[in-house]
Amino acid sequence: MKLKFIYGDIPFWRAEVGRLALYFGNIDFEDIRITRDEFLYLKENGKLLDGTLIPFHQIPCLVVDDVSIAQTGAIARFCGKLSGLYPENDSLEAAKIDQFIDFITDLNVLFSGTNNISDQTQKISARKELVEGALKRKLAMLENCLSENLTWAASSKISVADIAIWRLIGWFTAGVIDGFPKDMISSFPKLRRLCMAVDKHEKIQSWVQKTYPENYPRGYY
């Protein structure tokens, strides 16, 4: 099976959950990192300059033997099954993982609304309000869904759900988003524990050293 993973050259959670799943499973794939100009072209044309089709004109995109697959969740499940980070025969565990990936998507969408504010002062104000309001409530919901006894979100072992949570929360708390404080999850011990466990995993450490820019902030837990 020939795999191509298409995204930009940034460690955003939507891409990292699939990339890391493949890396966890020692599965060979072509890690294609497109430029901004290529991204603008695919948004307009639904394909890359080399003709590779991009469903829905958006990335990430995983190409499996010349068949293009879109959407973060679909890609995460496919890559997770290949690597053992998503169950093939346990529908309940799969659903538990799915709910976390979908919830992380909800958090991402909640934040994305602030990107449409052109005035920087108003944008920062809106983000601070979000952190203390809707986002804080959502993070409390996530905290309440995590186990007191299990390190991982959906089972007794790491899954694509944990990678998704770690990378989005890492981005939120890295100090790179104006208006988002680094100590955002300081009052959520189970969420902090999960993020720290993922961050310290040997496969995560190896991938970060291999692909992340030097001194790239991964988050403060």
Q: What is the pLDDT of residues 155-213, one digit of tens each?
A: 999 999 999 999 999 999 999 999 999 999 999 999 999 999 999 999 999 999 999 98
Contact, 112 vs 168, CB < 8 A?
no
Reading the block at residue 192, the tokens are 């902090």
> Which three-class secondary structure state does DSSP give residue 6?
strand
Nearest to 210 by CA among 1, 11, 8, 35: 11
- Longest Cα separation, the chain: 50
Please state which architecture CATH assigns to domain 3-83. 3-Layer(aba) Sandwich (3.40)
> Which three-class secondary structure state does DSSP give residue 128?
helix
The sign of the torsion formed by the CA atoms of 39, 207, 81, 99 equals: negative
Cα distance between the two ends of the chain: 38
Partners of 4 in beta bridges: 30, 63
Give me the phi and psi of 140, to 5 degrees please: -65, -40
Q: Where in the chain are all domains bearing CATH 3.40.30.10?
A: 3-83
Contact, 46 vs 106, CB < 8 A?
no
Has residue 147 got a pLDDT over 90? Answer: yes
- Residues 183 and 129: their CA atoms lie apart, in Å, by 15
118-142 pLDDT per residue, tens = 999 999 999 999 999 999 999 999 9
Considering only CA atoms, give the Rg of the chain.
17
Has residue 217 got a pLDDT over 90? Answer: no
Contact, 119 vs 139, CB < 8 A?
no
Q: Where in the chain are all domains bearing CATH 1.20.1050.10?
A: 91-201
Neighbour-count burial for 140-150, b at 16+ CB within 10 Å, e otherwise: eebbeebeeee
What pTM does this model have? Answer: 0.96
Domain 91-201 fold is Glutathione S-transferase Yfyf (Class Pi); Chain A, domain 2 (1.20.1050)
